[in-house]
Every structure is written in C-alpha cells, then in structure tokens.
Amino acid sequence: MSGRIGRAGSALTWSALRAVKCAELEQAADGWGRVSNRADAVRDRIEGELLPGLRDTQKGEAPDAAVRGLRRLGKNFQYIYTECGLLRTTLNSLAHEIKTQQRVLQGALDDAAALRFTVQADGSVTYPAAGEGLIDGKPLAGGTASGVPNPGMVPPTGLVAPNPNAGKAQDIADRVAQAVRAAADADWRYARILRSLKAHEGLGVPVATWTDAAADAVTVRDAARGYLKGAIPHDASPAERKAWWAGLTDEQREEYLAVYPDQIGNLDGIPALVRDAANRDNLQLLMGKLEGRDDADSATKLAALREIDRQLRAVPEVGEPPMYLLGIGDQGNGRAIVSYGNPDTSRNVAAYVPGLNTSLDKEFAEGDLKRARDLAIVANRHGAPAAAITWLGYDAPQSPDGLASLAVAVGGRANEGGSTFREFMNGMEVANENADPHMTAIGHSYGSRTVGAAAQESGGIPGVDEIVFVGSPGVGVDSADDLGVGREHVFVGAAANDIVTKVPSKEESATGLVEMLYRGPAAAYILGGLADGGDDDVWFGRDPASESFGARRFEVGDGPFVIEKGKLNVDAHSEYFDPEIDRASVENMALIIAGHAGRIKGEEPR
C-alpha cells in the first residue's frame, strides 16, 4: 500500500481501504524484528565472548588488529539492530493507523446497511425517500450525500434537509471520506519514513550514518506517538513502571527499546540490564546527533560520550566489575548514570552524587566514573557483591572562571536534584532482586547538599540505610537526626586541609556572602575566616563534621596544605575517592557500603 497513494488521497477508495491486509504489514514488521534480534544477538556474542576471549588468550599486532575489527563489526551490528527495529515499528505503526481507519470505515458501512442506504464507489451515500411533504403529505424524495473529508474546512449553510434520511446519510458519507483521507495521509507519511530508513552503501558505519540514524529515530518516534509513546508510564511510581514493563510482551519490549531507548533507558524501576541495553543504543544516537553540530557545548558533551563509549566497549580487568549505563542524556549540563556492578543483583548498592562544576565532559567521564569504579572494587573485597554508581542526574551548579554561582548559595539546584535522586534510589530498591538490599547514598561537595535535600523530603531517601558526606559545605540541616536514617547511620569525612568544609557561613562573616558568590570558596575561607567566630556553622547549615551535628566522622587523609609554595592548592577537596592518595577514605567508605560500618576507623569530630 505505502508509496502508491498521493497526499490528497484521490487514488484511494473506501473499498481499497477495506481490502488492505494489515496482517501482511505486521508480518513484514515481524520479519524485520527477527533480523533486528539476530543482529543484537551477534553483537552480544562479539562483545561478550569473542572480544574477551581474544584479548585474554592472544597478544601481538595481529590479535590487536582483530580486536579493532571485531569492535567495528560489533558497532555495525548495533546499527543493523537499531535501523531494523525502527523499520519494524514503522510498519507496525502504519498497520495500527490503517486498522483504526478501517474500524471507522466499517462502522459507517454497518450503519449504512442497517438503514438500507447505498454507499457508492466514490464514497457518496444514496438514501431513500422518507418523511412527509407539508403540502401533499407524500414521502420526501431521496438523494445522495457526498462526504466531506475535512468538515472544519466547510462552513455550515444553516439549511436543514427536510428528508430525515439526509442528515444520517451525510454523517455516514463524512465518516467514510474522513477514514479514507486519514488512511491516505498515513500512507503518504509512512512511505516517506520508509524511504528514509535506507543505509549508506558499503560495509562500514561511519559517524554520518549514526547522525542519520538519530534523525531516523526522531522521525519514527513522532510517527509512532499514538502507537507506543502514550503507554510509557512517565508519571507512575518506580514500582508501577516495573509492573508495566513486566506485563509487556517480548515484541512490545523490543519495539520500545528500538524506538524509545532514551525514555526506557532513563525510566526508574526498569531492570538495570534493560536500561543498560537501551542507553547503549541511545548513546550511539546521541553521538550521531551531536556530531552534526559545531557549538562548544555539543563538542564538550560529545567528548564525554565518546569516552563513556570507549569504556563500555573495553573488557574489564581482573577484579573490576562490569559497567552498566543506567542513564544518559544531553539535556541541560548533560546526564550520565553509570554503575560498576549490577545494582539489581548486588546485595550492597551505593550511589555517589558529585557536586559543584560537575557536567557531562571528558573530566567527568574519566574522573567521576573512576570514583565509583574504585569504590566498587574495594567494597567487593569485603563480602557480599557490591555495585557503586556515579549519579549525574541533575544540573549541578557551575562556577565558570572560579566564580561560585548564586545557585550554590540558595540551594535550588540541590532541592531539584534531591527529588530526582530520591526517585532514582526508589527505582534501585524496587528493581533489586534481594529481599532487603543494603543501600548507601554518598554526597561529595555540593552533592552532599543534594543528598541532604533528598533525605529531608517526607520518608527520606527510599531504601537508603546509610548516608555518607565527604568534602561537605553543609547539607541543609543542623543535625544528623534530620536525615531519616538515624545519626548512627550518617557518616562524614572532612580532610583537615579541605577548605570547602570550612567555608564560614554568611552569619559568621560580613564578607562571607560576597566572597562565596564572587571569588569562590577559597577566598571566602581565607578572607571570611578572619571573622570566624569559632562556631560550628558552615555555608549550608551546621558543619557535618562537628560534634553538635552528631554524625560519625571517619578517618581521611589531611590532603595538601591550602597554600603551597605561595600558590593556592584545593586538591584536598577532591582526593577522598582516590585509593592511591587517600586509602583511608576509600577503605572506610567501602566498609560502609559493604555493611561493615563497625570496622571503620573513626576520627574525633571538630
């Protein structure tokens, strides 16, 4: 049917619409689905069996070249999987729209038959005489009503036909015309989409091809909105989303993954393996999308996505847990949620929230992801399987050129991020296969303010048993008792030379606000600290490392002095997660994650 009808629909008749065999379209869709699934299976075998086996058993230039070839082949099969999946959904969506119009048409034909009207080949409806003439009392003459495909385009005449059959016939004729017109329009739209779903010639899948695939995905999503998108439970709870996914057929799941990987991959409550598969595909589409742009923001995010893609394709070293991509997106400052270890099967699950100046850039992809990987590696040495997550699911405040932003002072980003983080952790709890998983939330720097905001909402952070703050400028409350897990389950690491943990509050120093906003935390500490009254307040409430706050302070390294060789040094703020520089901090956090908080090395509160 597709491609044989013009936009105006003049070549389509109601009898042709009725005769369309939508089952054949659906069978063709099934065929493309089988090709898509086979391509996906081959890709999994290449990346899950062949690459690790080759790397572990062969060394030298030839095996290295073979690895590169296999990786390229894996990406090619990923492209086949994506495009064939889009073809399947396009055909199924076309069949869905045609069947809808066939039902409208059949309803009109049934009504015509019941009234003994005749539907002509051109769609007009002939009706018999009926009613009584005012003068002679004889039945009023019958006639023929022609359908109007777009009733809104024809202004009402104000005239009422005297024969009571006339209005009924007009309604039937209009419905026939509208069904034919809608079906012809759908055919025209889907013919264009199917023509666009055509790969470049050759065996390779260059970047430009992924850029085209990203555009193809957008087009199919728009076309399939009525067929698929409306059913995605965006406003439901994570538990309801889990139940929704479990209730879908395999074919429905495959279509959602092929057409909406961006939405399924970021849907809290969906199994981690599903989210990972969806996000790996969406990662390719995002890179293709950003490749087509030349602005600085796109270039920055593209560099991060390429680095994440590189890590996902690398074979884990011995003792290193596998990566799972639980979220990815280019909105705002960028989104990325990466787990080391499967959070659905691990007994212990930790999520680390980064802070000020974190965005989707190469530094994040290399540094912040490594923090979770190192935590997972060490935590796994202490017993039950552990998964550690880097969660960039919000827009952390940015302070370009070292100037702290107003968002840091007012905490608005923390409140927004906190709500999103709560839902994510709820999803982790719901999807976990253990009866009572042990879950830990870790906030660093401004991320501690975000975790604090999440904990302050009604019910606290779902599923979280332990809360850890490191390098914290305050968490928005004055007592560990206000965080929903009990003060014995709140832990704080504060390096002696970390200036962020000592920034004086605006109540302490008349210069504090000015320095924090316009010169950054270092200047606020050095200049504002001259007016420090010696209390335990920091920028966002009471110092979490203070005795009055009531948390359990654990041992961390001191970090380098703030002033070294006449220069400002703030490295103490970022060394908490580095096992080579601050082993004590990493070991203590790993013990907390593993459920062995009783074994941490404590430190006296301030």
* 527/225: higher pLDDT: 225
Contact status, residue 459 vs residue 368, Cβ threshold 8 Å? no
Mean pLDDT, residues 426-437 taken together: 96
Q: Which residues pair with 386 in a beta bridge?
A: 348
Q: Give the pLDDT confidence score for residue 403 in this predicted structure.
A: 37
pLDDT confidence of residue 532 = 41
**Mean of the pLDDT values across residues 7-14?**
63
Query: Given this model, what pLDDT does residue 136 score?
Result: 61
Tell me, what's the pLDDT at 276? 94
% of the chain with per-residue pLDDT over 70: 81
Q: State the average pLDDT for the chain.
A: 83
Can you tell me whether residue 370 is helix, strand or coil? helix
User: Which residue is listed with tokens 């929230």?
Assistant: 353
With cut-offs at 50, 70 and 90, classify the pLDDT of residue 251: confident
pLDDT over 80 (residue 48):
no
Torsion angle defined by CA atoms of residues 498, 501, 506 and 508, in that order, rounded to the nearest 10 degrees: -90
Distance CA 127, CA 119 (A): 9
Size of the chain, expressed as the number of residues it contains: 606
Distance CA 130, CA 90 (A): 47
Percent of the chain with pLDDT over 90: 50
Q: How far apart are CA 117 and CA 176, in angstroms?
A: 13
- If you average pLDDT over residues 445-467, what whole number do you get? 95
Q: CA-CA distances (angstroms) from residue 596 to 191, 303, 348, 377?
A: 61, 38, 11, 15
Residue 568 has pLDDT above 80, yes or no: no
Is residue 224 pLDDT above 80, yes or no? no
DSSP bridge partners of 492: 469, 553
Mean pLDDT, rounded, for 442-461: 94
Instruction: State yes or no: pLDDT of 493 exceeds 80.
Output: yes
Report pLDDT for 137: 63
What does the pLDDT average to over 320-331?
95
30 burial class (0-12, 13-18, 19+ CB within 10 angstroms)?
A: middle
**Which of 145, 138, 152 lies closest to 168, judged by CA?**
145
Question: End-to-end alpha-carbon separation of the chain, Å?
Answer: 77
Taking Cα atoms as reference points, which of 201, 225, 195 lies closest to residue 93?
Answer: 225
Q: Are the C-beta atoms of residues 109 and 147 closer than 8 Å to each other?
A: no
Mean pLDDT of 169-186: 91
- The pLDDT-based confidence of 381 (bands split at 50, 70, 90) is very high
Half-sphere exposure of residue 529: CA atoms within 13 angstroms, side-chain side = 11
Least confident of 1-5, 86-90, 294-298, 402-406: 402-406
What's residue 268's pLDDT? 97
pLDDT at residue 37 in the model: 82
Query: Quick count: other Cβ atoms within 10 Å of Cβ 151?
Result: 12
Residue 398's pLDDT band (cuts 50, 70, 90): confident
Provide the whole-model pTM: 0.75
**Token pair belonging to 323:** 């990566």
Residue 207's pLDDT is 62
Beta-sheet strand order (sheet of 125-127): 118-119, 125-127, 143-145
What residues pair up with 532 in beta bridges, in sequence order?
none
Nearest to 140 by CA among 116, 162, 160, 117: 162
266, 329 contact by CB (below 8 A): yes
The pair of structure tokens assigned to 385 is 């399987």
Instruction: With beta carbons less than 8 A apart as the criterion, state whether 56 and 274 touch.
Output: no
Residue range 178-192: mean pLDDT, rounded: 86
For 108, the token pair is 């009109």
What's the alpha-carbon Rg for the chain, to the nearest Å?
A: 31
Backbone angles phi, psi at 157, to 5 degrees: -90, -20
pLDDT at 301 over 50: yes
Residue 196 phi, psi (nearest 5): -75, -25
The pLDDT score that the predictor gives to residue 274 is 94
Q: Which residues contact 179 (CB under 8 A, 6 or more apart)?
A: 14, 17, 101, 102, 104, 105, 108
pLDDT band at 423 (very low <50, low <70, confident <90, very high): very high
Structure tokens at 296: 């600085």
Out of 98-112, 124-138, 353-367, least confident range:
124-138
Q: What is the pLDDT of residue 535?
A: 47
Count CA within 13 A, CB hemisphere, residue 329. 21
The alpha helices in 154-271, defined as continuous H runs, are: 164-196, 207-223, 238-246, 250-259, 261-264
pLDDT at res. 411: 62
At 202, the pLDDT band (50, 70, 90 cuts) reads low
Q: Which stretch of 121-135, 411-425, 535-549 has the lowest confidence by average pLDDT?
A: 535-549
What integer pLDDT is reported at residue 513 of this predicted model?
Answer: 41
pLDDT classification of 320: cutoffs 50, 70, 90: confident
Instruction: Give every strand in the sheet of 386-392, ordered side by side.
Output: 323-329, 335-340, 386-392, 348-353, 438-444, 464-470, 490-493, 552-553
The DSSP symbol for 353 reads E
Would you say residue 189 has pLDDT above 60?
yes
User: Rounded mean pLDDT of 355-376?
Assistant: 95
**Residue entry with tokens 């044989």:** 4
**Helix then strand then coil, % of the chain, to nearest 5:** 55, 10, 35
Q: Widest CA span of the chain, in angstroms? A: 115
Least trusted range by pLDDT, from 2-16, 161-175, 389-403, 565-579: 2-16
Residue 526 is predicted with a pLDDT of 44
Ranking 119-123, 418-422, 539-543, 598-602 by mean pLDDT, the lowest is 539-543
Give the DSSP per-residue string, 281-312. Answer: HHHHHHHHHHHT--SHHHHHHHHHHHHHHHHH
Q: How sure is the predictor about 229, in pLDDT bands with cuts at 50, 70 and 90? A: low
Decide: 156 and 174 in contact? Cβ < 8 Å.
no
Q: Tell me the pLDDT band of 222, cut-offs 50, 70 and 90.
A: confident
> Which among 122, 174, 110, 148 has a CA at the least distance from the CA of 14?
122
Q: Determine if residue 433 is left, alpha or beta; phi over 0 gives left, psi from -120 to 50 gives alpha, anything else beta.
A: alpha
Q: Taking the mean position of all CA atoms in its chain, how far away is CA 579?
A: 31
Which of 105-119, 305-319, 408-422, 504-518 has the highest mean predicted lDDT (pLDDT)? 105-119
Q: What is the pLDDT of residue 191?
A: 82
